Amino acid sequence: MANNDTTLSEFPSQVFPDDHRQKPNAIDQLHRVTAILAHELRNPLSVLQAGIDLMDDDANDEHSLKKLFQTQVQQMTRLVEDLLDLSRSADGRVRVKRRPIDLLPRLNDAIKSVEQVVAQRNQRITINVTSEPLWLNGDPQRIVQIFTNLLSNASKYSEQGTEIVVSVARVENDTIEIRVCDHGIGIDAEDLAIVFDFFSQVKTSDSLAHSDGGLGIGLGLVRTLVQMHGGSAWATSEGIGKGSEFVVRLPSCEPQLSDQGRDQSVEPLVPARILIVDDQRSNVYMLNALLEKLGGHELRSASDGATALSVLAEFIPEIVLLDLGLPGMSGLELAKEIRQLEHCRHSLLVALTGYDDDQLRAEATAAGVDLYHLKPVSMDLLQQILRRRRIER
């Protein structure tokens, strides 16, 4: 396949009828409002995530406060991402970037992302899979998103103590089939045709009523993303109270050895000189706290571009953690100024932002930004950045 990038505009709209798609002003406004909302939500989520990472944890306590809070932040973060994808799907801005990947590690990532929710409901996930590697031409993050949404849906609509079974197999030489089966509330026959529609809500019996019905976005995104990978998705159920099975079929591809042979060794962290630039005092405080917990770093901070440049007059950072939405001089303008400083030309410049926009990513790269990461910022992400700094140097 010559072009591995797919946009939603190649597929019929499943979000709005045709008459709505003929009103670009309304769609642009929806996208703009949703993007602003996502940005505003990511700042408090970043503070909450940092606070969770700073909490002491009892690894033997499945109901510890840390794990409970982490579950809620993960759910809120997924909701923000789903809302953004919903707005993008209105005007064809959803994009997948495909390459040959092994399906099973991504499926395990999806299972890991929902394991705390499943554990809180005393549920369990059983996976049946062939021993052979299963390769497909896919976007790694989108594949995880597909199965995270399916597993979340299965858990949400299943009772306490039940089992969710994931079966993976090659059904044809060029097709991989994944089945997610639950023993939950089931789906009425009339609802099977609309279960993947955005904002749809299936009927439930009184005895199995669930108030946590969600916004009706997740399954719509599943179908959209599966189709963008050249696959198909459908649901089956024997009726209310008899569980459901969601089936995804994706085309397979030839394996790529570079994905198998990645070095999984973890190097120890080395202290670094780090400048934090963010106008939210709470974000600066929590980033400082996280980096202090990681140990030994020399830290400076600034709340705007002018102050940052003043700090850089006497401080040579190895890493700059930069928020793009700064007052006065924007983060992009500051990045350009930093790259003009001789002693900062080899600094690792990292955008930590709430704005998820392809054009902004491109502009950030042009301005000299090395890495572009979305909030919330976790301890794991900071460790990745610190290790990346060693590779870059």
| Residues 170 and 192 placed together within one structural domain of the fold | yes
Q: What CATH number is given to the structural domain containing 278?
A: 3.40.50.2300
Which pair of tokens denotes residue 93?
A: 């801005």
What is the full per-residue pLDDT of the chain (393 aa) written as tens digits?
A: 445 666 554 444 444 444 444 445 665 666 667 767 777 788 888 888 888 888 876 656 666 777 778 777 877 887 777 777 766 666 666 778 899 999 999 999 999 889 888 988 899 999 999 777 899 999 998 999 999 999 999 999 999 999 999 999 998 889 999 999 999 999 988 889 889 887 766 655 544 444 455 556 889 889 999 999 999 999 999 989 899 999 999 999 988 765 444 444 556 678 899 999 999 999 999 999 999 988 889 999 999 999 999 999 999 999 999 999 899 999 999 999 999 999 998 999 999 988 877 889 999 999 999 999 988 888 889 998 998 864 444
| Residues 228 and 113 placed together within one structural domain of the fold | yes
Residue-level pLDDT at 9: 47
| Residues 107 and 248 placed together within one structural domain of the fold | yes
List the domain range (segments joined by +) for residue 43.
Answer: 5-89
| Residues 190 and 277 placed together within one structural domain of the fold | no
Residue 15 inside a domain? The answer is yes
Q: What CATH number is given to the structural domain containing 116?
A: 3.30.565.10
Residue-level pLDDT at 26: 62
Residue-level pLDDT at 226: 95
Residue-level pLDDT at 54: 83
Number of domains forming the structure of the chain: 3
Residue 264 inside a domain? The answer is no
pTM of the model: 0.66
Residue-level pLDDT at 262: 45
